[in-house]
Copies of this chain bind each other. A is one copy, B any other.
Amino acid sequence: MTLSALADPTRRAILARLASGEAYVSELAEPFDMSLVAVSKHLKVLEKAGLISKGREAQWRPCRLEPKPLRQVDDWLESYRQFWNDNLDRLEAYAALLQQGEVDEPST
Protein backbone atom coordinates (compact mmCIF):
# COMPACT_ATOMS: atom_id res chain seq x y z
CA MET A 1 0.00 0.00 0.00
CA THR A 2 2.94 2.26 0.71
CA LEU A 3 4.07 2.36 -2.91
CA SER A 4 0.64 3.28 -4.27
CA ALA A 5 0.38 6.04 -1.68
CA LEU A 6 3.74 7.30 -2.91
CA ALA A 7 2.69 7.08 -6.55
CA ASP A 8 0.87 10.43 -6.48
CA PRO A 9 2.96 13.61 -6.89
CA THR A 10 0.70 15.68 -4.63
CA ARG A 11 1.20 13.16 -1.86
CA ARG A 12 4.95 13.10 -2.35
CA ALA A 13 5.00 16.90 -2.15
CA ILE A 14 3.07 16.71 1.10
CA LEU A 15 5.60 14.28 2.52
CA ALA A 16 8.44 16.54 1.44
CA ARG A 17 6.79 19.40 3.25
CA LEU A 18 6.32 17.28 6.38
CA ALA A 19 9.96 16.25 6.34
CA SER A 20 10.72 19.77 7.53
CA GLY A 21 8.22 19.62 10.38
CA GLU A 22 4.61 19.20 11.47
CA ALA A 23 1.83 21.11 9.71
CA TYR A 24 -1.94 21.49 9.84
CA VAL A 25 -4.18 20.22 7.09
CA SER A 26 -4.93 23.71 5.80
CA GLU A 27 -1.24 24.63 5.80
CA LEU A 28 -0.50 21.52 3.79
CA ALA A 29 -3.27 22.35 1.35
CA GLU A 30 -2.17 25.92 0.75
CA PRO A 31 0.44 25.37 -2.01
CA PHE A 32 -1.88 23.23 -4.15
CA ASP A 33 -4.27 24.30 -6.83
CA MET A 34 -7.03 22.03 -5.60
CA SER A 35 -9.70 22.07 -2.95
CA LEU A 36 -8.96 21.51 0.71
CA VAL A 37 -11.23 18.48 0.55
CA ALA A 38 -9.01 16.92 -2.10
CA VAL A 39 -5.92 17.42 0.04
CA SER A 40 -7.74 16.03 3.05
CA LYS A 41 -8.38 12.87 1.05
CA HIS A 42 -4.72 12.63 0.07
CA LEU A 43 -3.87 12.88 3.74
CA LYS A 44 -6.27 10.07 4.48
CA VAL A 45 -4.49 7.89 1.94
CA LEU A 46 -1.12 8.74 3.50
CA GLU A 47 -2.49 8.04 6.96
CA LYS A 48 -3.91 4.65 5.97
CA ALA A 49 -0.51 3.78 4.54
CA GLY A 50 1.05 4.76 7.87
CA LEU A 51 3.17 7.41 6.20
CA ILE A 52 1.77 10.17 8.36
CA SER A 53 -0.12 10.47 11.63
CA LYS A 54 -2.46 13.16 12.84
CA GLY A 55 -2.72 14.69 16.29
CA ARG A 56 -5.47 16.92 17.71
CA GLU A 57 -5.13 20.51 18.80
CA ALA A 58 -8.56 22.03 19.20
CA GLN A 59 -9.99 22.06 15.68
CA TRP A 60 -6.59 21.56 14.06
CA ARG A 61 -5.08 18.25 13.05
CA PRO A 62 -1.29 18.55 13.13
CA CYS A 63 0.18 16.05 10.70
CA ARG A 64 3.59 14.52 10.99
CA LEU A 65 5.70 12.21 8.91
CA GLU A 66 6.08 8.64 10.12
CA PRO A 67 9.36 6.98 9.20
CA LYS A 68 8.45 3.30 9.34
CA PRO A 69 6.91 2.73 5.88
CA LEU A 70 9.66 4.70 4.15
CA ARG A 71 12.20 2.61 5.93
CA GLN A 72 10.40 -0.47 4.63
CA VAL A 73 10.70 0.87 1.10
CA ASP A 74 14.38 1.31 1.78
CA ASP A 75 14.59 -2.29 2.96
CA TRP A 76 12.72 -3.47 -0.12
CA LEU A 77 15.24 -1.67 -2.30
CA GLU A 78 18.05 -3.50 -0.56
CA SER A 79 17.75 -6.60 -2.75
CA TYR A 80 18.12 -4.45 -5.85
CA ARG A 81 21.06 -2.46 -4.57
CA GLN A 82 23.13 -5.59 -5.00
CA PHE A 83 21.90 -5.77 -8.56
CA TRP A 84 22.71 -2.22 -9.62
CA ASN A 85 26.09 -2.33 -7.93
CA ASP A 86 26.89 -5.44 -9.95
CA ASN A 87 25.94 -3.54 -13.08
CA LEU A 88 28.05 -0.62 -12.05
CA ASP A 89 30.98 -2.90 -11.34
CA ARG A 90 30.72 -4.37 -14.82
CA LEU A 91 30.66 -0.88 -16.32
CA GLU A 92 33.68 0.14 -14.32
CA ALA A 93 35.56 -3.00 -15.24
CA TYR A 94 34.73 -2.35 -18.87
CA ALA A 95 35.87 1.27 -18.62
CA ALA A 96 39.13 0.07 -17.10
CA LEU A 97 39.64 -2.31 -20.02
CA LEU A 98 39.00 0.52 -22.47
CA GLN A 99 41.57 2.62 -20.69
CA GLN A 100 44.15 -0.10 -21.10
CA GLY A 101 43.29 -0.48 -24.79
CA GLU A 102 42.28 -4.09 -24.20
CA VAL A 103 39.05 -3.80 -26.18
CA ASP A 104 37.77 -1.67 -29.06
CA GLU A 105 35.24 1.01 -28.31
CA PRO A 106 31.79 0.31 -29.76
CA SER A 107 31.33 2.04 -33.12
CA THR A 108 27.93 3.55 -32.17
Contact = CB atoms under 8 A, between A and B. Distances in A.
Interface stretch (A31-39, A53-61, A69-77, A97-105): A69-77
B84 A73 contact: no
A81 interface: yes
Interface in A43-98: 65, 67, 70-71, 73-74, 77, 79-81, 83-84, 87-88
Interface on chain A toward B: helix, strand, loop, or mixed SS? helix
A83 to B, nearest CB: 5
A67 B84 contact: yes
A70 B67 CA distance: 20
Interface in A3-21: 3-4, 6-7, 12, 15-16, 19
Contacts of A16: 79
